[in-house]
Amino acid sequence: MAKESSVAPKERVNIVYKPATGGAQAEVELPLKLLVLGDYTLRADDTPLEERKPVNIDKDNFNDVIKNQGLNLSLKVPNKLTGKEGEDI
């Protein structure tokens, strides 16, 4: 659980490292970093894995990366809401 002095918002995952060496009492908050590997384009690519470049994605370039990769998602979801069509819920 996040402490009040945490640098990350409470909505995020907070990882705290407590060293177990000697009499160290300091707690260090570690950032959560994820690496996601995969071919999300579903297009053939003959480039050897060793020559492929990673794509860094963050909150500032997320939309641009999705657009440049030509990625999209289309879902059909059946209407499971009660009430009449056009009625406010």
DSSP annotation string for 30-55:
EPP--------S-----S-GGGPPP-
Contact 30, 15 (CB under 8 A): yes
Domain boundaries, the chain: 34-84
Q: What is the pLDDT of residues 29-65, one digit of tens each?
A: 887 777 787 777 788 889 998 998 888 888 899 999 9
Say which range, 11-15, 53-57, 73-77, has the weakest mean pLDDT: 11-15
Residue 17's H or E segment, with its range, is strand 15-17
Q: Please state whether the predicted TM-score (pTM) of the whole model is above 0.85.
A: no
Tokens of 85: 């069509």
Contact 41, 33 (CB under 8 A): no
